[in-house]
């Protein structure tokens, strides 16, 4: 029996016990690939999947299939740790009376991506309710909101304005079985 992987999707920071999947080659990246196509990994090959600020790069039409692909990789009882820009929070920051034009521009880039390369575009805005619906449609029945993960140095706990965290952090548990939920 193979040891189960702890997979960090979209990362670059090396951490003992973790493997990294990224769309672009870089130091410490173990696998090159696209979150929408995880065929290079066997079913139930991961105990934990960590994806910080990756899912917003997946379009609406591919979201359920992508989440089902992530669920396929998880063992029963496995955890999918997700961090995404929280659209509710970003909207509130964008219209806040004390934001400067420069700050609003920065928030706009968090909404739509920095667009510095072909991979840095955001195709969807996610808040708690929308992300939970997608997760349920993919077969996740147990979902928990957490303040942060404290594993990697990333934007999952980023607070650029007024001490407000811009990320929505969830853990979706693969508790086996499937739920019948209509596709979005």
**Domains in the chain, number:** 1
Question: How many other C-beta atoms are found inside a 10 Å radius of the C-beta of residue 43?
Answer: 9
Q: Does 77 fall in a domain?
A: yes
Residue 180 within a domain: no
pLDDT digits (tens, 9 = 90+) for 79-131: 999 999 999 999 999 999 999 999 999 999 999 999 998 888 999 999 999 99
The confidence band for 184, taking pLDDT boundaries of 50, 70 and 90, is very low
167's tokens = 């990320």
Q: Residue 11 domain-assigned? A: yes
Is the predicted pLDDT of residue 182 greater than 80, yes or no? Answer: no
Residue 182 lies in a domain: no
Q: How much is the pLDDT for 78?
A: 97
Whether residue 156 is contained in a domain is answered as: yes
In a domain, 78, yes or no: yes
Model's pTM, two decimal places? 0.91
Range of the domain at 137: 5-173
Instruction: Give me the CATH number covering residue 79.
Output: 3.40.50.150
Q: Do 129 and 136 touch, CB atoms closer than 8 A?
A: no
* Contact predicate 139/179, CB 8 Å: yes
Domain-embedded: residue 53: yes
Does residue 1 register a pLDDT over 90?
no
Q: Which structure tokens are listed for 146?
A: 């957490």
5-51 tens-digit pLDDT: 999 999 999 999 999 999 999 999 999 999 999 999 999 999 999 99
Query: Is pLDDT above 90 for 55?
Result: yes
């Amino acid at each position: 029996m193979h040891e189960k992987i702890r997979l960090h999707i979209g990362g670059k920071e090396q951490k003992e016990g973790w493997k990294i999947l990224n769309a672009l080659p870089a130091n410490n990246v173990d696998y090159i690939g696209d979150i929408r196509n995880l065929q290079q990994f066997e079913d139930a090959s991961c105990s934990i999947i960590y994806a910080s600020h990756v899912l917003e790069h997946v379009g609406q039409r591919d979201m359920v299939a992508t989440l089902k692909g992530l669920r396929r990789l998880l063992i029963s009882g496995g955890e999918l740790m997700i961090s995404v820009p929280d659209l509710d929070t970003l909207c509130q920051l964008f219209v806040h009376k004390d934001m400067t034009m420069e700050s609003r521009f920065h928030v706009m880039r968090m909404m739509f991506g920095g667009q510095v390369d072909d991979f840095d575009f955001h195709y969807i805005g996610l808040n708690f309710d929308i992300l939970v619906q997608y997760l349920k449609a993919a077969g996740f029945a147990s979902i928990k909101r957490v303040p942060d993960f404290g594993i990697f140095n990333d934007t999952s706990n980023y607070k650029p304005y007024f001490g407000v965290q811009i990320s929505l952090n969830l853990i979706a548990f693969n508790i086996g079985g499937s739920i019948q939920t209509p596709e979005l």
